[in-house]
Amino acid sequence: MISIIQLEYIVAVDTYRHFATAAEKCFVTQPTLSMQIKKVEEALDIIIFDRSKQPVIPTDAGKAIIAQAKLVLQQFKKLEGIAADFKSNISGELHVGIIPTLSTYLLPLFAGPFSRKYPNVKLHVQEYTTENIIELLKKDQLDVGLLVTPLHDAAIEEKPLFYEEIQLYTHQDHPLFKQPTVRMEDITQPGLWLLTEGHCFRHQVLNLCSLDHKIEANRPFLFESGSLETLRKLVEVEGGFTLLPELATIDLADEQQFQIKRFETPRPLREVSLVYTRHFAKQRLLNLLAAQLQEVVPPMLKDESRGIVVEWK
């Protein structure tokens, strides 16, 4: 009879494509892992992995077995999750992926309070790009993601949490500083600092006015950053302007608040959600995390009617 542990070993080898690495991740010796997989192959009378290739690859029959093994493991985790929901104690592990344009501003608000409120829940949080989070969710290497939606991915469930205004941050010498509000077409003028490729907020900025992805502005030098804080400091030192999500502007000093310009109505918003796969098992922990997040963000951010959600995909 094939066991859950044997299925976990098979999926681990498929994930890491190396028997020694898979064994290390499963906290067993390589001979033990290899022997258990061999037993499965003998029981099913098929070869799951082609061991003559480096890295190891699944055979055609192996691919079908691995796909089914993942479904079985997902359902098994769901059984554990159902059982945990009926217990009075709240415990377990929650692996969360968060995008960099959220982590700087959102992580300090919820991680500490959540961990103190639920000390028996081990919270693991790691920064990834949106595409990496989606990939890791589908591989069951993350439980949930905190990112910008909609994703338009049938395999991913979305739980919207709040809506940030997209705002403009300008140098005091830039012409936009004198405007009480800005229009979408204003961001096509010279001086725009952008995030690098791979960041969903970059694509939202480009989509605001159907900007060409090869836009080149009249800036002191060409530079694209992975950090919103770097872009903001570049505006302060080198001039020009950038766009920031609302959480990145709330705590700015009073003198810097004058450099924030809101768009004319309807104002652009980015939708922030918890995302997970359809087979997600830890529903109770997800709901507790969602409640904690909605508790710590400013109340105004929960109002979707403040503007229009900007697509990024």
Of 44, 63, 85, at which residue does a domain stop? Answer: 85
Residue 68 inside a domain? The answer is yes
Q: Which residue has the tokens 């003998």?
A: 42
| Rounded Cα distance, 288 and 52, in Å | 47
Residue 74 inside a domain? The answer is yes
* Domain shared by 104 and 193, yes or no: no
- Cα angle: 297, vertex 299, 304; to 5 degrees: 100
The residue range of the domain holding 12 is 4-85
Q: Would you state the structure tokens that stand for residue 145, as one six-digit string?
A: 């993601």
Of 43, 69, 85, at which residue does a domain stop? Answer: 85
Residue 243 inside a domain? The answer is yes
Return the higher-pLDDT residue of 143 and 198. 143
* Domain shared by 240 and 117, yes or no: no
CATH number at 279 reads 3.40.190.10
pTM: 0.72
Per residue in 145-175, pLDDT (tens digit) is 999 999 999 999 999 999 999 999 999 999 9
Per residue in 34-44, pLDDT (tens digit) is 999 999 999 99
Residue 307 inside a domain? The answer is no
* Domain shared by 167 and 264, yes or no: yes
User: Is 78 a residue whose pLDDT tops 80?
Assistant: no
C-beta of residue 118 within 8 angstroms of C-beta of residue 94:
no
* Domain shared by 167 and 154, yes or no: no
Residue 305 inside a domain? The answer is no
Per residue in 1-35, pLDDT (tens digit) is 889 999 999 999 999 999 999 999 999 999 999 99
Helix, strand, or coil (residue 303): coil
Predicted confidence at residue 213, as pLDDT, reads 45
* Domain shared by 181 and 264, yes or no: yes
* Domain shared by 202 and 217, yes or no: yes
Confidence of residue 210 (pLDDT cuts 50, 70, 90): low
* Domain shared by 47 and 112, yes or no: no
66-70, 190-194, 196-200, 240-244: lowest mean pLDDT where?
196-200
Predicted confidence at residue 304, as pLDDT, reads 93
* Domain shared by 16 and 110, yes or no: no
* Domain shared by 143 and 204, yes or no: no
Q: How many domains does the chain have?
A: 3
Mean residue pLDDT across the chain: 88
Predicted confidence at residue 177, as pLDDT, reads 93
Q: Would you state the structure tokens that stand for residue 269, as one six-digit string?
A: 């918003």
CATH number at 20 reads 1.10.10.10
Residue 18 inside a domain? The answer is yes
C-beta of residue 97 within 8 angstroms of C-beta of residue 142:
yes
Q: Which residues contact 154 (CB under 8 A, 6 or more apart)?
A: none
User: Is 224 a residue whose pLDDT tops 70?
Assistant: no
Residue 310 inside a domain? The answer is no
| Rounded Cα distance, 237 and 256, in Å | 13
Residue 179 inside a domain? The answer is yes
Q: Which residue has the tokens 């070993």?
A: 9
Helices (H), the chain: 4-16, 19-25, 30-44, 60-85, 100-117, 130-138, 200-208, 228-238, 254-257, 283-296
* Domain shared by 264 and 173, yes or no: yes
Per residue in 90-129, pLDDT (tens digit) is 788 899 999 999 999 999 999 999 999 999 999 999 999 9
C-beta of residue 121 within 8 angstroms of C-beta of residue 91:
yes
Helix, strand, or coil (residue 108): helix
Helix, strand, or coil (residue 304): helix
Residue (of 295, 300, 229, 234) closest to 267 by Cα position: 300
* Domain shared by 217 and 260, yes or no: yes
Q: Would you state the structure tokens that stand for residue 24, as one six-digit string?
A: 């290390």
* Domain shared by 155 and 168, yes or no: no
Give percent above pLDDT 70 in the chain.
91
